Amino acid sequence: MIMTNKKVADLVSDKGILMVLSGPSGVGKGTVCAALRKSTNDLVYSVSATTREPRQGEVDGVNYFFRTKEQFLQMIADDELLEWAEYVGNYYGTPRYFVEEVLASGKDIILEIEVQGALKVKHKFPEGVFTFLLPPSLDELQNRIETRGTESEESIRNRMSVAKAEMRLLEHYDYAIVNDEVEAACRRIQSILVAERCRQERVLHKIKKWMDEV
């Protein structure tokens, strides 16, 4: 059958984009994701499971699925997690089915996860888009963790030392964004998503197949 009437736009838009957003504790990942959730309807946020205690104001099922260590280990055993990692004494993991469903429905999804988990996702989803959020400076990073007021002195020290190790893994990411100002960081992430939707490799095989058929 001649398929010259088929719309190219329909051809190229099927699966959504998986974006991973990493960055040191306190850089503003949560703040930037919350702003993106408000302003961008077609970007879905993946809610992780964790064994850490909820902070004041955090809601189960919105910020995280708060689980006991036993429950978390059971999720691993049941293969319910796309990836998981231990970070400063707690477990964190991404529920797998939700991510798969969102991508299959054609929507984009953002995973706010630390670097070990991000590298595991990269292995499973090499076509994912890996973005690293950088602080304007290390002093400002420490200042942000301190002003957030959620961590003990020990937790701040641990997070700052992990931060330096995490920033050394920047080379594994596709994009680096400085979170100097929240709105500007959001605009940069939205621009990345727009550009990635047009990335030639995402559509090339479909266009080739279509051209072979017409």
Ligand X SMILES: Nc1nc2c(ncn2[C@@H]2O[C@H](COP(=O)(O)OP(=O)(O)O)[C@@H](O)[C@H]2O)c(=O)[nH]1
Ligand Y SMILES: Nc1ncnc2c1ncn2[C@@H]1O[C@H](COP(=O)(O)OP(=O)(O)O)[C@@H](O)[C@H]1O
List the structure tokens of 19.
């974006």
| Partner from ligand X, ligand Y, none binding residue 51, C-beta < 5-8 Å depending on class | none
| Partner from ligand X, ligand Y, none binding residue 67, C-beta < 5-8 Å depending on class | none
- Amino acid code (one letter) for 118: A
Interaction between residue 148 and ligand Y (CB under 6 A): yes
- Residue 171 CB coordination number (10 Å): 7
Interaction between residue 152 and ligand Y (CB under 6 A): no
Report how far residue 145's alpha carbon sits from residue 131's, in angstroms, rounded to the nearest whole number: 21
Do β-strands 175-178 and 129-134 pair in parallel, antiparallel, or remain unpaired?
parallel
- Amino acid code (one letter) for 168: R
Report how far residue 195's alpha carbon sits from residue 209's, in angstroms, rounded to the nearest whole number: 23
| Partner from ligand X, ligand Y, none binding residue 28, C-beta < 5-8 Å depending on class | ligand Y
The DSSP letter of residue 3 is -
Residues contributing to the site for ligand X (CB under 6 A) = 25-26, 29-30, 48, 52, 83, 85, 87, 92-94, 112-114, 116-117, 159
Q: Which residue is nearest to ligand X (CB)?
A: 117
By CB under 6 A, name the one of 16, 18, 28, 196 that touches ligand Y.
28
Smallest distance, Å, CB 121 to ligand X? 8
By CB under 6 A, name the one of 18, 19, 21, 25 that touches ligand Y.
25
Report how far residue 207's alpha carbon sits from residue 211's, in angstroms, rounded to the nearest whole number: 6
127 or 181: CB nearest ligand Y: 181
- Residue 38 CB coordination number (10 Å): 9
Is 128 assigned to a binding site? no
Report how far residue 110's alpha carbon sits from residue 132's, in angstroms, rounded to the nearest whole number: 12
Is 27 assigned to a binding site? yes
Interaction between residue 30 and ligand Y (CB under 6 A): yes
Interaction between residue 56 and ligand Y (CB under 6 A): no
The residue ranges that bind ligand Y (CB under 6 A) are 23, 25-31, 144, 147-148, 179, 181-182
Binding residues: 23-30
